[in-house]
A and B are shown apart, each in its own frame.
Chain A
Amino acid sequence: MEKFSYVNATSLEQVTTLLSDSRWGEVMLIAGGTDLLAELKEYIETPKTLINLKTLPGMEGIKADAAGLTIGALTTVADIAKHPTIRHHYTVLAEAAGSVATPQIRNVGTLGGNLCQRPRCWYYRDEATSCLKKGGDICFAVDGLSKYHAILGGDPVYIVHPSDLAPALIALGASVKIVGPEGEKTMSLEDFFTLPAANPFRENVLQPNEIVVEVQVPPAKPNTKSFYLKAREKGAPDFALASVAGVFEMNGTTCVSTSIVLGGVAPAPWRSKEAEAALTGKMINETVSRQAGSDAVKDAQPLNDNAYKVTLTQNLVSRAAMMAAS
């Protein structure tokens, strides 16, 4: 990696001040470092300054009460996976957290880092390849090897968003608190992520001088079941070929309301309003769940090597729905 200076953060004001004059990649934030260190070692990022967030007070921990969940951005993935309330009432989140990478990575990787991690695309991660995402002319996946790439929302960059926590949190209706030079703001996590058509270089709306500090999850509704289904080639560590975060408010086998978010298939966590519509108000059976599955992928546009993801995603959505009804 290139040399950089290293600053221990003391306050959010200090952090946003340090960030404020910089452009993307000049000053970077590090918490667990499980993603960033690899990017530095492979010269994908070459910041001049790294700000260590682990020294910031009060940004770690899970608060669970009548208002729902409040999770600090520095909370580790492992702590989310093992939290009793999350396991019990926000199962999709615990399952997603437990599916991340390896125990070592979950022990140091943080919520904020997981949401802001960069793509795993093998063209993007190759220093010598100047792809569209890094300011080049083309997305190499279009004519290249695209087994792990996007089937939805890709144009013009066909990366997939690698986060497991993001689909789960969006399915739970989470919002994210962001601090910048002008103070703090809260937005829905769904709106936090963007597609390459809006900005091919970034995966979210965060500005270079902003920082994610907290995620809030509304209280779990009664009679709710939730699941995170993650298909991968290898037990661990492996990123999702496709994943489904499903939250289902049920009355017997009837789906009162649902939110379904797909991972591993689009450049951002992909809320499937189509699948939700196919299930809402319906008594879930084989036919209904199959319909939800095919509705979820009806806009899919696979590349050369990833048509299997269409079938896979369809089947995962159906499976999640059937699990909700059983």
Chain B
Amino acid sequence: MASWGEASESRLIGKRIPRLSGKDKVTGKAKYTFDINRPGMLYGRILRSEVAHANVVDLDLSEAEAMPGVKAVLPLVEVGRKIRYQGQEIAAVAAETDDIARDAIRRIRVDLEELPSVVTEADAMAENAPQIREDWVGNQSAPNVREEGDINAGFEQAAVEVEATYHAPVQTHVCLETHGHVAEWEDDENLTVWASTQGVFGVRNDLAGRFNLPANQVRVITEHMGGGFGSKFGPGVEGRTAADLARTTGRPVKLMLTRKAEHLVAGNRPSMTQHVRAGATSDGRIIAYDMKGYGTGGISSGAGFQAPYVYHVPNVRAERRNVTVNVGNQRAMRAPGHPQGAFAMDSLMDELAEKLGMNPLEFRRINDPSEVRQAQYTLGAQEIGWHRRNSVPGSGTSVKKHGIGVGSGQWGGGGGDGTQARVTINADGTVEAVTGTQDIGTGIRTAIAIIVAEELGLNPTDITVKVGDSGPGLPSGGSGGSQTTASVAPVIKTAAAAAKQKLFQRVAPQLEAPVEDLRVGNRTIYVVSDRTKTIKWELATGQLGMESISEGGHWDRELRQGGVAGTQFAEVEIDTETGAISVIKIVAVQDCGLAINRLTTESQINGGVIMGLGQALLEERFMDAQTGRMLNANLEDYKVPGTFEIPEIKSIVFDTHRKVTGVGEPPCIPTPGAIANAVYNAIGVRIRSLPITPDKILTALAEKKA
């Protein structure tokens, strides 16, 4: 049975190994799509609607077309069709310089007949609201209802009840590199696209379909990319437009989204509002859970969230609706549906525990079916110093108050079939690993090098890893669902093992030993039963001559496993006079299976915590009902964590088995709940709406006082 071996046998796997591309990234040598410049390249720009809802009455491109330096102007909406959200594409320009392109889109004349719009959930659900989707009544989907057990019987057994409304607003992804592409046609039938994408083959297949080309005549390259978080799986309108403009002009075209467009049209995490009534028995079991909730993911909506979450509840009624609004659509965002659900559930848990007079951690221990999290509670509580929490929330007379809270999460991961890879050993001793995955930023390039180096007795820096290119025709899936490492690692390992086997077969006769007796380590192949029989790596490979060894692998299910649990503890300090919230420390205990590279796994957890902290304390999309526009489509008023906000983060890689699982998404899930509970523990007032900002703290404290 295939295995990654024991930890004691691993020379590299599970150790802390610096990211191979780290130096290139910090020195600026790494080339992102934004950095790609091709000979004769034009710059693309898209004119977008500033109106949320309108009929397109007329579109006149002539003035833009006539501008010197403008090479193409393409309509992206038809006269007679509707604009349904701010940011919707109207027309695109390709020009000799970015400045000309920017000027040119302003010369496009579009005549819009404005229609009544709704941009907030409250307005969409209001009586007599304009109907913006013909197939939904009251701008809401039919409810999705989940029932388990009998909630009425459950509430009869309840000793305490909590009824509360929890809310999380829409968040946007804020990829540091905005969405974008450079498209170049070699001839009418061969297209190369540099894409900032988390799915090289997804972009390839989409564009091949659009231009009716064999898939192998479209090459997509993503050497490095600046964040996707679920929003960059396909080329989108902007990628298809870049390719269209390049085809029309016969020249390469670069088209990157502006920061504003990135907020408006490149996806978002749907909002969540849930009204919950829940009950617990006197011995501390949650017994009934009744939830009515809704959320919006924009014009097409798709606003799911997890409710209830993680903890065992025997009697459940959960009703969710999607609300449609005249705003750009949601896209998958790091652990879709989980962080907002976890925030509400973990807040509810603490509220129930308080009514019972129980320690919230004890209450979780009773209700949490996960053995992994049970162990994590113990470890995390120790690390944060759980005993230091306010035994009476909000107690104390000092201006600055401390609190500690806990939150939980879970995720799947575990990878999937569909990756092809080749590991090649060349006569000069060099080794190359190639596959069509992409490094979304999590360090798969380094993980591949580690796996191959471990197998071949080399160092990670000895391995040339080629990813982020569909050219070699070795497909791999998109980097989503925390699946990349668990999808890729087994294939790489089996490919490296096969290549090693081939090399062993080559040198076995010389070493006068059967292949199964050969081992490799320290750049030397040796016979395990007689260590005097050796051959240096370069001498062995030198015999290959023109015949490199090149082997594929397969997705061996035994090497991976799905399902992770996580727990986080937060300590906060709140200035009760200014409402300022400082997170002092986060302890993140993250179950993750086998960490191929412990260092980048810790980085993943750090990144997840920071993203969760942003959702907890800062991030909110503000939609203005008067204008139908987003008021903070920038990074001034859409606030993301900076160095001042980032606390001490204790990331604990909690490895429970030696199979690869994946940990991209889960570390952002428990953070908002843990912080919200810490805030309550500090000030004794519960903030049930994210983000927890100074205005909410001050308002809540004032209400408590009154």
**A89 on interface, CB distance cutoff 8 Å:** no
Within 8 Å CB of A306, what residues of B?
695
Closest chain A CB from B185 CB (angstroms): 32
Known interface pairs A238-B639, A307-B699. Does A231 touch B694 (Cβ–Cβ under 8 Å)? yes
* Complex interface residues of chain A between 161 and 217 (CB less than 8 A to chain B): none
Closest chain B CB from A90 CB (angstroms): 24
**A123 on interface, CB distance cutoff 8 Å:** yes
| CB-based contact A308/B642 at 8 Å | no
* Complex interface residues of chain A between 277 and 319 (CB less than 8 A to chain B): 305-309, 311-312, 315-316, 318-319
* B-contact bits for A1-15, CB 8 A (1 contact / 0 none): 011000000000000
Closest chain B CB from A36 CB (angstroms): 15
B: number of interface residues (CB 8 Å): 30
Complex Cα spacing A68 to B108, Å: 56
A: number of interface residues (CB 8 Å): 34
**A233 on interface, CB distance cutoff 8 Å:** yes
| CB-based contact A129/B694 at 8 Å | no
**A135 on interface, CB distance cutoff 8 Å:** no
**B58 on interface, CB distance cutoff 8 Å:** no
Within 8 Å CB of A67, what residues of B?
none
Within 8 Å CB of B645, what residues of A?
234-235
Closest chain B CB from A261 CB (angstroms): 18
Closest chain B CB from A322 CB (angstroms): 10
Within 8 Å CB of B642, what residues of A?
234-237
**B180 on interface, CB distance cutoff 8 Å:** no
**B637 on interface, CB distance cutoff 8 Å:** yes
**B624 on interface, CB distance cutoff 8 Å:** yes
**B625 on interface, CB distance cutoff 8 Å:** yes
**A148 on interface, CB distance cutoff 8 Å:** yes
* Complex interface residues of chain B between 615 and 647 (CB less than 8 A to chain A): 618, 622, 624-627, 629, 631-632, 636-637, 639, 641-645
Within 8 Å CB of B577, what residues of A?
315-316, 318-319
Known interface pairs A238-B639, A316-B578. Does A305 touch B627 (Cβ–Cβ under 8 Å)? no
* Complex interface residues of chain B between 551 and 581 (CB less than 8 A to chain A): 577-580
**A66 on interface, CB distance cutoff 8 Å:** no
**B50 on interface, CB distance cutoff 8 Å:** yes
Closest chain A CB from B103 CB (angstroms): 8
| CB-based contact A231/B637 at 8 Å | no
| CB-based contact A143/B644 at 8 Å | no
Closest-by-CB residue of A relative to B634 is A125
| CB-based contact A233/B618 at 8 Å | yes
* A interface, over-half SS: loop
Within 8 Å CB of B26, what residues of A?
none
* A-contact bits for B631-665, CB 8 A (1 contact / 0 none): 11000110101111100000000000000000000
**A144 on interface, CB distance cutoff 8 Å:** yes
| CB-based contact A128/B627 at 8 Å | yes
Within 8 Å CB of B579, what residues of A?
231, 308, 312
Closest chain B CB from A232 CB (angstroms): 8
**B158 on interface, CB distance cutoff 8 Å:** no
**B702 on interface, CB distance cutoff 8 Å:** yes
| CB-based contact B694/A233 at 8 Å | yes
| CB-based contact A122/B631 at 8 Å | yes
Complex Cα spacing A231 to B645, Å: 14
Task: Out of A122, A241, A318, name the residue touching B632 (CB < 8 Å).
Answer: A122
Complex Cα spacing A320 to B619, Å: 30
Closest-by-CB residue of A relative to B399 is A319
| CB-based contact B626/A143 at 8 Å | yes
* A-contact bits for B375-411, CB 8 A (1 contact / 0 none): 0000000000000000000000000000000000000
Closest chain A CB from B273 CB (angstroms): 18
| CB-based contact A140/B624 at 8 Å | yes
* B interface, over-half SS: loop
| CB-based contact B632/A233 at 8 Å | no
Closest chain A CB from B697 CB (angstroms): 8
**A147 on interface, CB distance cutoff 8 Å:** yes
Complex Cα spacing A144 to B642, Å: 28
**B698 on interface, CB distance cutoff 8 Å:** yes
* Complex interface residues of chain A between 1 and 49 (CB less than 8 A to chain B): 2-3
| CB-based contact A147/B695 at 8 Å | yes
| CB-based contact B632/A308 at 8 Å | no
Complex Cα spacing A231 to B699, Å: 15
**B693 on interface, CB distance cutoff 8 Å:** yes
Within 8 Å CB of B580, what residues of A?
231
Known interface pairs A231-B580, A235-B642, A235-B643. Does A123 touch B631 (Cβ–Cβ under 8 Å)? yes
Closest chain B CB from A215 CB (angstroms): 26
* B-contact bits for A116-148, CB 8 A (1 contact / 0 none): 000010110011110000000000100111011
| CB-based contact A122/B694 at 8 Å | no
| CB-based contact A308/B694 at 8 Å | yes
Known interface pairs A145-B622, A233-B694. Does A129 touch B629 (Cβ–Cβ under 8 Å)? yes
Within 8 Å CB of B103, what residues of A?
2-3
Closest chain A CB from B647 CB (angstroms): 12
Closest-by-CB residue of A relative to B106 is A43
* A-contact bits for B575-598, CB 8 A (1 contact / 0 none): 001111000000000000000000
Complex Cα spacing A319 to B625, Å: 37
* A-contact bits for B677-706, CB 8 A (1 contact / 0 none): 000000000000000011110110010000
Task: Out of A140, A233, A316, name the residue touching B693 (CB < 8 Å).
Answer: A233
| CB-based contact B698/A312 at 8 Å | yes
Closest chain A CB from B395 CB (angstroms): 20
Complex Cα spacing A236 to B644, Å: 7
Task: Out of A128, A148, A309, A311, name the residue touching B637 (CB < 8 Å).
Answer: A148
Closest-by-CB residue of A relative to B633 is A126
| CB-based contact A308/B698 at 8 Å | yes
Complex Cα spacing A89 to B605, Å: 46
Within 8 Å CB of B632, what residues of A?
122
Task: Out of B578, B631, B644, B693, name the residue touching A315 (CB < 8 Å).
Answer: B578
| CB-based contact B694/A145 at 8 Å | no
Closest chain B CB from A213 CB (angstroms): 30
Complex Cα spacing A127 to B642, Å: 27
Closest-by-CB residue of A relative to B627 is A129
| CB-based contact B639/A233 at 8 Å | yes
Complex Cα spacing A305 to B698, Å: 12
Complex Cα spacing A179 to B639, Å: 39
Within 8 Å CB of B644, what residues of A?
234-236
Within 8 Å CB of B693, what residues of A?
233
Closest chain A CB from B301 CB (angstroms): 22
Closest-by-CB residue of B relative to A127 is B50
Complex Cα spacing A307 to B699, Å: 8
Task: Out of A126, A241, A311, name the residue touching B631 (CB < 8 Å).
Answer: A126
Within 8 Å CB of A2, what residues of B?
103
| CB-based contact A126/B629 at 8 Å | yes
Complex Cα spacing A126 to B629, Å: 9
Within 8 Å CB of B695, what residues of A?
147, 241, 305-306, 308-309
Complex Cα spacing A144 to B631, Å: 10
Closest-by-CB residue of B relative to A41 is B102
Complex Cα spacing A312 to B575, Å: 11
| CB-based contact B627/A311 at 8 Å | no
Known interface pairs A307-B699, A308-B694. Does A231 touch B626 (Cβ–Cβ under 8 Å)? no
Closest chain B CB from A326 CB (angstroms): 13
| CB-based contact A311/B639 at 8 Å | no
Within 8 Å CB of A129, what residues of B?
627, 629
| CB-based contact B636/A234 at 8 Å | no
| CB-based contact B627/A241 at 8 Å | no
Some 24 contacts from A to B, beta carbons below 8 A apart, are: A2-B103, A120-B636, A122-B622, A122-B637, A123-B631, A126-B629, A127-B50, A129-B627, A145-B622, A231-B578, A231-B579, A233-B693, A234-B644, A234-B645, A235-B645, A238-B639, A241-B695, A308-B579, A308-B694, A308-B698, A311-B699, A312-B578, A312-B579, A315-B577
- Seen from chain A, the residues whose Cβ lies within 8 Å of a Cβ on chain B are 2-3, 120, 122-123, 126-129, 140, 143-145, 147-148, 231, 233-238, 241, 305-309, 311-312, 315-316, 318-319
Interchain residue pairs A-B with the least CB separation, the first 8: A235-B644, A315-B577, A308-B695, A128-B50, A122-B631, A308-B698, A231-B578, A311-B698
Q: A127-B50, A237-B642, A312-B698 are in contact. List 6 more A-B contacts (CB 8 A).
A: A3-B103, A145-B622, A145-B631, A233-B693, A235-B645, A306-B695
